[in-house]
């Protein structure tokens, strides 16, 4: 099947078919599309039209489409168009982790009614087990559906268990082996099961050197472990070592994507979740807080400049270099903080101590400061302002050092106090370093030119 490309013309044809209730055309089109493609069409339709199109799908495909819709869009879609009975019908077909994600988007009253209406009571129990975990820890990322066997079973018994249990599991990555107390003892690959004799005990062919995570481990840790060991799925155990569920690679990718989008928005100075197709007011509201912070920082910088009005009046050429001080400080701060944020996110290998980290940053800053200082100094001579050579060179050198220090220490402090360190790579560090750069420049100018 060719890759689906949603065009305006295609969307218009779908809307016309919905308006004219041309179900035959719509069904023929939907039959050719993947659930993710249908989700992209629903994004573009108004609520009532989207629901009308959605109801043409069979329940199984509808469940897949619903699980593909972004959280905010799905929450609005369901609230406006779905009855509690409809929600329950589709949740019955969800994996337990996806079902919990959808139910967490609903009011408590709706959530409880849906769980009560679920026909699959085992699914309802799985959902209740998962609901109390935060969504950013292993317990909140795992699904309860998996294939497990006992150590004392034979290969032929294991095959029968796979047939029974695999009905509720979309993808069987491995068969997990537990003892009589449900404690995880190892895994058996499908290849080992196929190659082993039917009377062979599972305990004789299981692989006991396995990687697993605890329910309380963070999503970041889970992602790092799965990346490090190149895993497609990882079992989740409780504090007693009992197998509770499994986290699959698709759930980890979703978690990483959401976290990356959040970090990008924080770095850009956007509060909360915002997307291009949100309302004008929502987009404006998401951007205003950091814009106000930036304006406030600029006003402080203007106040600093005002304190040196006499200096500027006597050597007006100083004004030429105000922009470079602010922009250099901001750029250096962002470069440094971005590397620190990246290292905090990865948390792999041997942790570098604070003083070792600062020492390295300062050494890099010394080199960068010397280079930009000399380049700018040459320009100062070229334009015929030799008396400003030492002022500009020394100021830039100092600004690079200070901005590097700020770019290092700020994300580390934010991380320590539980605030997203990505904030240090955005307007916060830029505004702070603009202020530091301009303040440093005028102080150095004041003393070096002896204009007191």
Over residues 225-248, the pLDDT tens digits come to 998 899 989 999 998 999 999 999
Instruction: For residues 452 and 445, give the distance between their C-alpha atoms in angstroms, rounded to a whole number.
Output: 10
Is residue 26 within 8 A of residue 55, CB to CB? The reply is no
pTM: 0.67
Over 70: is that where the pLDDT of 137 sits? Answer: yes
Quote the strand ranges of 135-277, DSSP E: 148-150, 175-178, 184-188, 213-214, 233-237, 243-248
Q: Please state the rounded mean pLDDT for residues 278-306.
A: 72
pLDDT(187) > 50:
yes
CATH architecture of 280-448: Orthogonal Bundle (1.10)
Instruction: Round the average pLDDT of the chain to a whole number and report it.
Output: 84
Residue 449: the pLDDT is 79
**pLDDT attached to residue 283:** 66
Residue 252 has pLDDT above 60, yes or no: yes
Confidence of residue 383 (pLDDT cuts 50, 70, 90): confident
Residue ranges per domain, the chain? Answer: 8-136, 148-256, 280-448
How is residue 2 annotated by DSSP?
P
Q: Is a pLDDT exceeding 60 seen at residue 348?
A: no
Give yes or no for residue 451 having a pLDDT over 60: no
Q: What is the band of 142 on the pLDDT scale with cuts at 50, 70, 90? A: very high
> What pLDDT is stored for residue 265 in this prediction?
65
Q: 118 phi and psi, to 5 degrees?
A: -65, 130
Compare 171 and 403 and report the one with higher pLDDT: 403
Whether 280-448 and 148-256 are alike in CATH topology: the answer is no
For domain 148-256, is the CATH number 3.40.50.2000? no
pLDDT at 267 over 80: no
pLDDT over 90 for what percent of the chain? 20
Give the whole-angstrom CA distance, residue 15 versus residue 21: 10
- Does the pLDDT value for residue 452 go beyond 50? no
- Across 245-259, 262-276, 315-329, 402-416, least confident range: 262-276
Percent of the residues in the chain that have a pLDDT greater than 70, as a whole number: 89
Asked whether the beta carbons of 237 and 187 are under 8 A apart, the reply is no
Q: So what's the pLDDT on residue 431?
A: 78
Is 425 buried (19+), middle (13-18) or exposed (0-12) by CB count in 10 A?
buried
Bridge partners (DSSP) of residue 246 are: 143, 235
Confidence of residue 5 (pLDDT cuts 50, 70, 90): confident
C-alpha 426/C-alpha 391 separation (Å) is: 29
DSSP 8-state secondary structure symbol assigned to residue 107: -
Q: Between 62 and 299, whose confidence is greater? A: 62
User: Token pair for residue 389?
Assistant: 């050579």
pLDDT per position as a tens digit, 148-181: 999 999 999 988 888 888 777 777 878 999 999 9
Q: How confident is the model at residue 272 (pLDDT cuts 50, 70, 90)?
A: low
Distance CA 293, CA 266 (A): 14
Between vectors from CA 438 to CA 432 and to CA 439, what angle results, nearest 5°? 85
pLDDT tens across 88-127, in order?
999 988 988 889 989 998 988 999 999 999 988 888 998 9
Statement: residue 278 has pLDDT above 80: no
**Encoding tokens for residue 440?**
């440093």
Q: What is the DSSP letter of 318?
A: G
Lowest-confidence pick of 153-162, 331-340, 420-429: 420-429
Instruction: Give the separation between CA 409 and CA 153, rounded to whole angstroms.
Output: 56
Q: What is the CATH number of domain 8-136?
A: 1.25.60.10
Q: How far apart are the first and last CA of the chain?
A: 77
Cα 393 to Cα 53, 293, 332, 361, 377: the distances in Å are: 66, 29, 16, 20, 6
């Amino acid at each position: 099947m060719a890759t689906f490309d949603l065009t305006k013309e295609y969307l218009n044809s779908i809307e016309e078919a919905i308006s004219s209730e041309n179900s035959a055309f719509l069904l023929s089109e939907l039959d050719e599309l993947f659930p993710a493609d249908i989700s992209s069409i629903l994004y573009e339709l108004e609520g009532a039209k989207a629901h009308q199109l959605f109801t043409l799908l069979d329940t199984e495909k509808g469940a897949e489409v619903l699980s593909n819709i972004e959280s905010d869009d799905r929450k609005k879609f369901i609230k406006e168009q779905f009855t509690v009975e409809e929600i329950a019908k589709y949740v019955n077909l969800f994996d337990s982790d996806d079902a919990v994600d959808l139910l967490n988007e609903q009011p408590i009253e709706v959530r409880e009614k849906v769980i009560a209406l679920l026909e699959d009571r085992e699914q309802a129990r799985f959902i209740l087990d998962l609901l109390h975990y935060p969504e950013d820890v292993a317990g909140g990322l795992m699904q309860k559906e998996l294939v497990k066997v006992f150590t004392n079973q034979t290969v032929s018994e294991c095959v029968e268990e796979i047939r029974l249990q695999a009905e509720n599991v979309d993808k069987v990555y491995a068969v997990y082996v537990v003892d009589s107390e449900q404690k995880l003892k190892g895994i058996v690959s499908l290849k080992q099961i196929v190659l082993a004799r039917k009377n062979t005990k599972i305990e004789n062919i299981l692989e006991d050197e396995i990687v697993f995570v605890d329910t309380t481990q963070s999503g970041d840790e889970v992602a790092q472990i799965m990346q490090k060991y190149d895993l497609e799925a990882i079992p989740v155990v409780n504090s007693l070592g009992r197998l509770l569920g499994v986290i699959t690679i698709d759930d980890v990718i979703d978690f990483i994507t959401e976290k990356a989008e959040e970090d990008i928005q924080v770095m850009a100075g956007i509060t909360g979740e915002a997307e291009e197709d949100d309302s004008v007011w929502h987009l404006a509201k998401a951007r205003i807080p950091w814009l106000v912070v930036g304006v406030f920082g600029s006003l402080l910088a203007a106040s600093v400049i005002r304190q040196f009005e006499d200096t500027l009046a006597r050597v007006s050429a100083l004004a030429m270099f105000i922009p470079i001080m602010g922009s250099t400080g901001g750029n250096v701060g962002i470069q440094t903080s971005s590397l620190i944020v990246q290292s905090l996110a990865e948390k792999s290998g041997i942790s570098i101590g604070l003083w070792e980290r600062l020492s390295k940053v300062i050494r890099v800053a010394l080199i960068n400061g010397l280079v930009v200082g000399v380049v700018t100094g040459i320009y100062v001579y070229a334009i015929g302002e030799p008396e400003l050579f030492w002022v500009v060179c020394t100021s830039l050198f100092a600004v690079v050092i200070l901005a590097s220090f700020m770019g290092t220490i700020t994300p580390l402090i934010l991380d320590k106090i539980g605030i997203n360190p990505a904030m240090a790579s955005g307007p916060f560090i830029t505004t702070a370093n603009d202020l530091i750069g301009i303040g440093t420049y005028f102080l150095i100018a004041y003393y070096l030119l002896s204009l007191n």
